[in-house]
Amino acid sequence: MSIVLVTFLHVVQLSEASGLPVYRLVRLNSYLSQIRMPLFFAVAGVFAGKAIAGSWPSLLRTKVALYAWLILIWSIVRWSMITFVVNNPDNPLEGGQITELAYPFFAPITGIWFLWSLAIFFVLTKVLRALPTMTAVAVAGGISILSVTWQSLDRSAIATFVFDNIAYRNSMLYFVFFVAAALMPQLIFRIGVLSGRWVLPALASSFAILAIARAAPIPIFDGTARLASSVLGVSGVLIASRIVTSNVVGQAFNYLGKNTLAIYVAQIPVICIFMALMHPYVGQAGKLVTAAGTVFVTAMVVLLTLGIQALAKAAGAGWMYRLPRRAGDRDIVATMTKVV
C-alpha cells in the first residue's frame, strides 16, 4: 500500500511540474504524507530486528553496504536518464554535472533519499538498542516533534540548510517509526489484529480531528499532533491490511510488497518519460481526465518498474537490486553493456 502511495505522490508531483491541473491531488497527497512514509518506515523496521540484533560487521556488510551500493547504481541510472534521455520537469537543472553523483551519499536531494535514511536508521537504532526500549522510542519521538518545532520557529542559515534537504528533514520526522517497529515488532502485530469494525471508525475520526487541530499556530503542538496523526494513520492501515489479506487485492499488495525496492528505485525516470509523452496534450487535459490519467500512469509505472527488474535479472544484472556476489555473477561491465 505504501509503495503505491509513494508512486502516486511522485506521479502527481511531476504532473504538477509539467503543468497538469492536479492541484486537488496535490492537496490529497499533503494529507497522505502523515501516513505514507511513516507506514513505509514502520514496515521496514519490522523486518530490521534481526540485523540490528546481530553484530556490527554483519550489519555494516548486509545493510549499510547494500544501501550504499543501491544508491550508487541507481544514482548513475537516474543521472544518465535525466542527462541523456529525458528532462525532469520537477527540476529542470538536474543532470549534466557529474558532481551530482556525489550528492546522494551526503545530502540526497532526489527520491533516493529513502535508501540513505535506511542506512542511517539501521546504525542509529543499533546504538539506541543499548537503552531501555521505551527510552529509545521516546528519544526518536522527541526528535520528530522537535524537528517540526525547529522548522517552524528557526529561520537561521543552519535551519534552512537542514530543512531544505528532503533527506535531513524527513529522516528526523520519520525515524521514530523505524525505531518503534524495529525494537517493538510485537506492537505492530498486536495493532494488526484489532477489530476493524470498531477501531477503524475511531481512528479515522481521531485522525480528522488532529488534522483540523494542526491548524492552530502552535509549533510544538503541531509537531505532537502530526506525530499522533501519523500513529493513528499507520495503525488504521495495518488493520486494513489484515482485512484485505485474504482476497485478490491483498494478494496483489503482497506481491508489490515483496518487490518494493524495484518499484521505488526506478520510478522517477519512468515517470519523467510519461510526462514527456503527455506534455503535448497538457492544454487539452480536463480535471476528470487528469485525475483518471494520474491513476493510470501510477499503475503503469508500477508495472513498468517491475518489468525493468525482470529484464535486468534475465540479462544477468540482478546486482542492480542487491550486492553483487563475489562469484557467480556475470562480469558487471559486460552485463551493463548488454542491458544498454
Closest CA to 46 of 35, 57, 38: 38
Helix H segments across 22-132? Answer: 23-32, 36-46, 49-53, 56-59, 65-84, 103-106, 113-128
Report pLDDT for 332. Answer: 53
Distance CA 56, CA 170 (A): 25
Report pLDDT for 335. Answer: 52
Q: What is the pTM of this model?
A: 0.88
Distance CA 305, CA 263 (A): 5
Would you say 176 and 143 are in contact if contact means Cβ atoms under 8 Å apart? yes
DSSP label of 132: -
Local mean pLDDT, 10-residue blocks, the chain (340 residues)? 94 89 86 91 93 93 94 95 92 88 88 93 96 95 87 77 88 95 91 82 86 68 84 90 83 92 95 86 60 89 97 95 70 49
Closest CA to 179 of 300, 54, 42: 42
Would you say 276 and 18 are in contact if contact means Cβ atoms under 8 Å apart? no
Q: What share of the chain is helix, strand, coil (3-state, %, to 5)?
A: 80, 0, 20
What does the radius of gyration of the chain's CA atoms come to, in whole angstroms? 20
Report pLDDT for 179. Answer: 96
Find all residues with CB under 8 Å of 54, minimum gap 6, and list them: none
Report pLDDT for 338. Answer: 54
Report pLDDT for 326. Answer: 59
Report pLDDT for 13. Answer: 93
Report pLDDT for 110. Answer: 84
Set of cell numbers at residue 12: 502527481
Distance CA 218, CA 78 (A): 40
Would you say 302 and 265 are in contact if contact means Cβ atoms under 8 Å apart? no
Report pLDDT for 340. Answer: 43
Closest CA to 294 of 278, 280, 276: 278
Q: Domain map of the chain by residue range?
A: 1-32+258-340, 34-244
Report pLDDT for 4. Answer: 95
